[in-house]
Structure 1
Amino acid sequence: MHKTLLPLLLGLGLMGCAARPKTPTVTDASAATSTPATSTARTERAAEDADRDGQAALIPLSLDPVYFELDSATLRPEFRQTLEQLADGLRQRPGTRVTVSGHTCELGTTEYNLALGQRRAAVVRDYLRRLGVDASRIRTLSFGEERPLDDSHSEEAQNRNRRAEFSFSSDDASRGSSL
């Protein structure tokens, strides 16, 4: 185990160093030599930095819903950045699939709301496709008014219920592991 750990730490240390801007080098030969303790501390620090950089690079795949106006399936501009982050996260995880579920408030008939929920999910799907997510990785689903976030019938509740939500699955999940 120790034989594989050392190359791994060194590799992480090199990746962390490569991502940093270069600092001026010391030209004094006595200052340029380092003791083993200093070298070890630098390697550990570089490994910690590389691990932190690697975690920051993975965009989380949990998002708040995308909200819509009454009787609309038009993507609001304030949610485009959210979908861009989602597309980035999906591109980093090629084995992950997303299901976009469209929802509505209780106004309108059941049939109308199911169709509107589907249009909302399709608008989000199409935007993700334009951002480079393969269509085979995106599934759409409409719940219409059947799964409200808030069923208090207030105007604020109706606004929260007009949304598209995301759920994720992985190719690995079908084999028994999870995201």
Structure 2
Amino acid sequence: MRIPSSTLSVGPRSLVLVAASALALSACSKKAPESLPPAPAASTTTQTTPGTLGPVAGSQADFIAKMMGADVIYFDTDHYDVDATDQAALARQAQWLMQYPAKRATIEGHCDERGTREYNLALGERRANAAKNYLVSLGVSPARLSTVSYGKERPVALGSDEASWAQNRRAVTVTID
């Protein structure tokens, strides 16, 4: 069956009619609800036991909560020596680790962005080992501690200034099961 070409042509009147129909349909969209549903609950990585509020004793979340920032120690540029502030933080870590003798920990060594990749990997290793050696001197078994160096590959601060670099020159203790 063949349709005459005069039927297929669209005139100005037809275009106006189509545009008006589209406008009318778009005006019929749903109204906004009077009240919004509650926001989704924030996901947490802390484990809780029934009837308690807080992390499970001996978990990484418990370690972080008890350390209150002392799970990280900081270093001066190109240094890996453990100063008095670091010693106090590591003493708190050792105390927690002694309380949970089955827990193991990894000490991560980090550097700022300056220097070569190889230099920073070596410096990060020295920083992690310095923290490990101090924990061992406080009575933590060396068999429970491992080290890893990330060099400059995992910065916590992305700026290229002294404040950012200072945050990235660190050793972080992470407990593992």
- Please name the residue that 1:123 is paired with: 130
What TM-score, normalized to structure 1? Answer: 0.61
Letter of the 1:68 partner, please give it: F
Q: Secondary structure at the match of 2:93?
A: helix
Structure 1 residue identity aligned to 2:156: L
Matches of residues 36-47 of structure 1 in structure 2 within 5 Å?
none
Matches within 5 A, 1:96-115: 96-115=103-122
Aligned-residue offset at 1:98: 0.7
**3-state SS of paired residue (1:61):** helix
Q: Please give the per-residue CA displacement for 1:119-156, whole angstroms capped at 9, x wherever unaligned.
A: 00000000000000000100100000000001111110
Match of 1:55 in 2: none
User: Which structure's CA Rg is the greater one?
Assistant: 2
Q: Partner amino acid for 2:121? A: L
Which secondary structure state, in structure 2, belongs to the residue aligned with residue 143 of structure 1? strand
Cα deviation for residue 169 of structure 1 reads 1.2
1: CA distance, partners of 2:79 / 2:86: 14
* Greater than 4 Å deviation, 4+ residue runs: none
CA RMSD of the aligned region, Å? 2.3
Percent identity reads 38
Residues in 2 aligned to 1:162 and 1:121: alpha-carbon distance in whole angstroms: 11
The equivalent residue for 1:133 is 140
Higher helix proportion, which one?
Answer: 1
Matched residues in 2 for 1:169 and 1:142: separation? 17
Matches within 5 A, 1:164-179: 164-170=171-177
Q: Which amino acid aligns with 1:139?
A: S
Report the equivalent of 1:18.
Answer: none
Equivalent residue in structure 1 for 2:63, among 61, 64, 68: 61
- In structure 2, C-alpha distance between the alignment counterparts of 1:108 and 1:95, rounded to whole Å: 38
CA distance in 1, matches of 2:168, 2:83: 15
Q: How many residues of Structure 1 are paired with residues of Structure 2 in the alignment? A: 116
Q: Which ranges in structure 2 are unaligned for 5 or more consecutive residues?
A: 1-61
Three-state SS of the structure 1 residue aligned to 2:160 is: coil
Aligned residue among 79, 96, 99 for 1:89: 96
